[in-house]
Amino acid sequence: MMPAMTQRPSPFDDAPEQDVIDSLTRSTTIAVIGLGPRTDRASYGVATYLQSHGYRIVPVHPDAGEVLGEKAYPTLTQAAAEHNIDLVDIFRRSSETDDPIDEAMAIGARFIWLPLGVRNDSAIARARQAGFTAVQNRCLKIEHMAYISHGRL
């Protein structure tokens, strides 16, 4: 029997704590790429939680008309034409995150997040080198809950 393979941590997984805090405290409008009407999806649970804590949620999904009482947009660029987006949370497979990260940089979102299990070291490095705060393999909901429970937000 072969030993279980463990995924090596990426040097880009360790966003500085201040980046996480800044993402949570300096953002008011969060675009969630991949947020559709399916309540069983992680994107829906995260967005519902964040919305209940006062964040404005902007759904980005090509097939959704409205999610969580908010108009959904087929692209991030179209959403940014109507909203000042502070943070983009990208619910896509790791292999499908290059274009959304580039689009987030193009619209000038200050914060870019990839949720748990989603990584793209080269795109995260590119975003950081361009001056964006970019976090991967972490969940906004979990981080928010942790900081609240420790009185940090």
Q: How confident is the model at residue 153 (pLDDT cuts 50, 70, 90)?
A: confident
- Quote the domain boundaries for residue 128: 17-149
As a dihedral over the C-alpha atoms of residue 56, residue 105, residue 11, residue 97, rounded to 10 degrees, the angle is: 80
Question: What is the CATH number for 32?
Answer: 3.40.50.720
Q: Does residue 1 lie in a domain region?
A: no
Tell the residue number behind the tokens 């999904």, with chain if given. Answer: 61
Q: How confident is the model at residue 6 (pLDDT cuts 50, 70, 90)?
A: very low
pTM (two decimals) = 0.90
Q: Does residue 75 lie in a domain region?
A: yes
Number of domains in the chain: 1
Q: Does residue 138 lie in a domain region?
A: yes
* Pairwise CA distance, residues 50 & 77, whole Å: 22
Q: Residue 71: beta bridge partners?
A: 66
Q: Does residue 6 lie in a domain region?
A: no
Q: Furthest-apart CA pair in the chain: how many Å?
A: 56
Kindly report, residue by residue over 123-138, the tens digit of the pLDDT.
999 999 999 999 999 9
